Amino acid sequence: MATRTHAQTHQAGRHLAVAEALLRGLPAKLKGAQTYVEIGEHTAQVMVAAKGAWMIADIEKFTALTCSRVILVHITVDGHDFYVADGDTLRAEVQARHRRFLEQVGGVRPRNPDSRNTVIKPEDVTAWRDQWRLLT
């Protein structure tokens, strides 16, 4: 069996989000080539995790985004889960967790001081699980 690429995994997550919305009776389609879907009247950013967490390469760029909704797709060995979040609230939560992490390590990342990476773990977003009503 061939190993899937990161791009294939991400595209599969976008398609899964559209399929789930359609199965819930919401109008849905892919928007653009990479990141977004349109569900109802909302454009949503889709983020896909297949290794346990959603990686954010640059916290400043992530928190500067303005998309009103974010769909986190968690692909597991048993299937997939969806977390549908209000974009502003999710970004504020991610930023607050990142600040707390930096405070715990003295304000500078210990292994790579120049890194702007952060992570969203499934346990950070349990309140957003299956909140498809945010897209109606």
The predicted-structure confidence for 76-126, as pLDDT tens digits, reads as follows 888 999 999 999 999 999 999 999 988 888 877 778 878 888 999 999 999
**pTM across the whole model:** 0.92
**Coil, strand, or helix at residue 71?**
strand
Token pair of 5, please?
């690429």
pLDDT tens digits along 21-52: 999 999 999 999 889 999 999 999 999 999 88
Q: How are beta strands 69-76 and 42-49 bridged, if at all?
A: parallel
